[in-house]
Amino acid sequence: MISEKMTQAINDQINREFYSAFLYLAMANDAMDKGFKGAAHWLTLQFEEEQEHAMKFSAYLQDRGAKVKLAAMDMPKTEWKDLQAIFTEVLAHEKQVTAWINEINALAIAEKDYATQNMLRWFIDEQVEEEANASDVIWMLEMSAGSKGALFMADKTLGGRKDD
């Protein structure tokens, strides 16, 4: 049986994942407004992925006989200075998500909740990938060093992201 404390922690994470989805959708819209269709595509796929994460957590709670409780969320920011600022925030946000998942894992370890520990392994691995992907994009944007041609190519590269 899953504890009330663990149920609450996972419900909190479900709501954070939905917020993450909306944050990435806001970023995609701002990128599109700035003419960066490739970045908008990349961020839209990220929006969809975050919704899938929320649904994975939801299904886990339901499989354990616990109730999923959705909560109101804050409105995400809707405008950034440039792509560099967007992806810098992507990385910072993913690092925060990693910290939250690690907190849930620490609770699962403390409670000897082996099923939750096992479920969280996928998310822990996923967060390594999320942070690496954001770091790669930041590096690519930094390498463009303000060159319009290089920025065009970076945006084109981002547009090639496949649906995982």
What global pTM score does this model have? 0.94
pLDDT tens digit sequence for 21-67: 999 999 999 999 999 999 999 999 999 999 999 999 999 999 999 99
Question: What is the average pLDDT score of the chain?
Answer: 96
pLDDT for 78: 97
Alpha-carbon separation of residue 41 from 44, 48, 96, 152, 159 (angstroms):
5, 11, 23, 14, 6
Q: Which of 108, 126, 129 is nearest to 117 (CA)?
A: 108
pLDDT tens digit sequence for 108-137: 999 999 999 999 999 999 999 999 999 999
Structural domains in the chain? 4-159 (1.20.1260.10)
pLDDT for 162: 87
Residue 14: what residue type? I
pLDDT for 164: 65
pLDDT for 161: 87
> What's the mean pLDDT in 85-97?
98
Q: Which of 69, 99, 77 is nearest to 22 (CA)?
A: 77
